[in-house]
């Protein structure tokens, strides 16, 4: 019975492998002196993300497969050495083996005798019905497909870094909002205590203010945890352990300054630049070559064969033994395997063509949805800024009214809650706009602001 490794042993193997490959940690890790911007994070991800390394190895494997397929155009040489002892029978004319033969006849039995041989044998395919050409073209399509797969992985990594980076910035700004909320809650608590001491406010106002302060402290703890989680996600997107110390700086760019493309422009860019489409085309091409290779199985094969060596009864044979000729192989019956192989290749080609059509629809839908989200996010930023201004004015008025005794603690805390929610909405809207802009660039094949650039192999 074959031994199947347990899940625990596989996990331990991965952990030990990672520990062996990782550098020794320093006794005390400090945050980097230079905060990283979005470009630095993208470059780090392109250098260290294991998904890109895996895609690179996939491309290397595809290139080696293409070279192996093209090697079929070269002759094949094999060195053979053999040693055997045998006994056989030769079917000779009776005139040579009967009693009337000279010297009593020749024995038809050969051996037992030793035979040792050394030979160099070579074959070269002269005609194979297009099999070599089809297999080489199939492998070349696989290389192009792997190249586009690597570009697809690169653009996805760039997108994931942008999303994680803006998510981390949003978490940091949300933490700042939570700190301001706690600061205002403490101010309101002091206001309620002061009015309580002068007899202008009941104890209920103080208790409500303290409850609000406790809620603000809990929100601050949650916001601090969100920052740690977001930093871990950004580290992971860059191919680093999530606990790696990281400091980032605000992105000075303002994506809203650039005009958005029209629907037609976005769809046209996606259909011309997205590497997924090129990969789908190469899979269809590979399927066509598989059909050609399957058809070649019905065609005779012609090979040039030759050998040269030594043959003798003792070691270090001295008698020459050579041959040169042409061999014809005609497939007569293979158990219907050729027909099934051809039918399978045609079915796989049809599947690849259908999948390519689906990729076109998916790419168009992603570009259309990304453009809609970008338009929505820009409008949301403008709307939420008006909301923040109104919430700030509402809190100012509620604070003045409460200080003068004309307002209630409920009005003050409601206004403070409204401003806190408006600030958080503003943070989310700003960075959702930047995420939407990054997603639109990815959906149109320009995740890093450039074309895919997969022209080189």
Per-residue confidence (pLDDT) for residue 93, from 0 to 100: 72
Please indicate whether residue 188 or residue 225 has the higher confidence score (pLDDT): 225
Q: Where residue 360 sits, what CATH number does that domain have? A: 1.20.1600.10
Examine residue 17 and state whether it is found in any structural domain, yes or no.
no
Residue 143 lies in a domain: yes
Answer yes or no: are the C-beta atoms of 152 and 275 closer than 8 Å.
Answer: yes
DSSP states along 270-286: HHHH-HHHHHHHHHHHH
User: What H or E segment, with its residue span, contains residue 119?
Assistant: strand 109-127
Buried b (16+ CB within 10 A) or exposed e, 64-90: ebbeebeeeeeeeeeeeeeeeeeeeee
Number of domains in the chain: 1
Report d(CA 192, CA 411) in Å as an integer. 13
Is 120 inside any structural domain?
A: no
Contact call for residues 45 and 237 (beta carbons, < 8 A)? yes
pLDDT tens per residue, range 210-248: 999 999 999 999 999 999 999 999 999 999 999 999 999
Model pLDDT for residues 42-101, shown as the tens digit of each residue: 999 999 999 999 999 999 999 999 999 999 999 999 999 999 998 888 776 766 666 555
In angstroms, the CA 164 to CA 322 distance is 70
Tell me whether residue 11 is in a domain.
Answer: no
| Single pTM value for the model | 0.80
Tell me the pLDDT band of 275, cut-offs 50, 70 and 90.
very high
Averaged pLDDT for residues 186-207: 88
Summary mean pLDDT of the chain: 87
Structural domain includes residue 326 = no
CA atoms within 13 A on the CB side of 413: 20
317 lies in some domain: no
Please report which confidence band the pLDDT of residue 410 belongs to, taking 50, 70 and 90 as the band edges.
confident
Rounded CA-CA distance 144/121 in Å is 36
Between 76-80, 88-92, 183-187, 421-425, the lowest mean confidence (pLDDT) is in: 88-92
The DSSP output letter for 262 is P
The encoded tokens of residue 204 equal 């209920």
In a domain, 350, yes or no: yes
Range of the domain at 41: 33-75+129-301+337-443
% of the chain at pLDDT higher than 90? 68
More confident residue, 321 or 8: 321
The answer to whether residue 93 is domain-embedded is no
Distance from C-alpha of 134 to C-alpha of 72, rounded to nearest angstrom: 11
Please say if the pLDDT value at position 456 is more than 50.
no
Rounded Cα distance between 364 and 372, Å, is 12
């Amino acid at each position: 019975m074959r031994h199947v490794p347990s899940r625990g042993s596989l996990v331990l193997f991965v952990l030990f492998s990672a520990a062996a490959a990782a550098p020794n940690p320093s006794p005390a890790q400090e945050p980097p002196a230079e905060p990283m911007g979005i470009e630095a994070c993208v470059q780090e991800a392109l250098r260290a993300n294991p998904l890109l390394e895996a895609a690179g190895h996939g491309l290397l494997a595809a290139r080696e497969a293409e070279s192996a397929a093209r090697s079929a155009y070269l002759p094949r040489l094999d060195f053979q050495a053999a040693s055997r002892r045998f006994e056989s029978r030769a079917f000779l004319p009776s005139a040579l083996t009967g009693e009337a033969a000279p010297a009593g006849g020749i024995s038809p039995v050969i051996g037992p005798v030793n035979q040792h041989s050394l030979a160099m044998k070579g074959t070269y395919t002269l005609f194979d019905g297009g099999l070599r050409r089809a297999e080489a073209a199939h492998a070349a399509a696989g290389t192009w497909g792997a190249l586009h797969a690597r570009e697809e992985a690169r653009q996805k990594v760039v997108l994931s870094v942008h999303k994680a980076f803006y998510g981390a910035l949003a978490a940091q700004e949300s933490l700042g909002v939570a700190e301001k909320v706690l600061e205002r809650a403490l101010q309101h608590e002091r206001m309620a205590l002061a009015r309580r001491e002068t007899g202008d406010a009941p104890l209920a106002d103080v208790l409500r203010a303290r409850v609000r302060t406790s809620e603000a402290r809990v929100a601050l703890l949650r916001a601090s945890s969100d920052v740690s989680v977001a930093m871990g996600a950004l580290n992971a997107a860059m191919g680093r352990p999530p606990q790696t110390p990281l400091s980032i700086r605000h992105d000075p760019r303002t994506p809203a300054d650039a005009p958005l493309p029209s629907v037609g422009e976005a769809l046209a860019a996606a259909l011309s630049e997205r590497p997924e489409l090129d990969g789908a085309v190469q899979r269809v091409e590979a399927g066509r070559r598989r059909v050609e290779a399957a058809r070649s199985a019905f065609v005779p094969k012609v090979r040039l064969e030759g050998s040269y060596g030594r043959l003798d009864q003792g070691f270090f044979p001295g008698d020459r033994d050579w041959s040169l000729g042409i061999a014809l192989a005609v497939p007569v019956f293979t158990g219907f395997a050729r027909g099934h192989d051809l039918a399978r290749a045609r079915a796989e080609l049809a599947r690849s063509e259908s999948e390519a059509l689906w990729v076109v629809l998916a790419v168009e839908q992603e570009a259309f949805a990304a453009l809609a989200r970008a338009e929505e996010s820009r409008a949301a930023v403008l709307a939420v800024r008006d909301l923040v201004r109104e919430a700030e004015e509402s809190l100012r008025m509620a604070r003045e009214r409460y200080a003068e005794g004309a307002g209630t603690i409920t009005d003050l805390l409601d206004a403070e809650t409204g401003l806190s929610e408006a600030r958080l909405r503003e943070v989310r809207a700003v960075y959702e706009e930047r995420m939407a802009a990054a997603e639109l660039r990815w959906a149109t094949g320009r995740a890093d602001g450039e074309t895919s650039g997969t022209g080189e192999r």
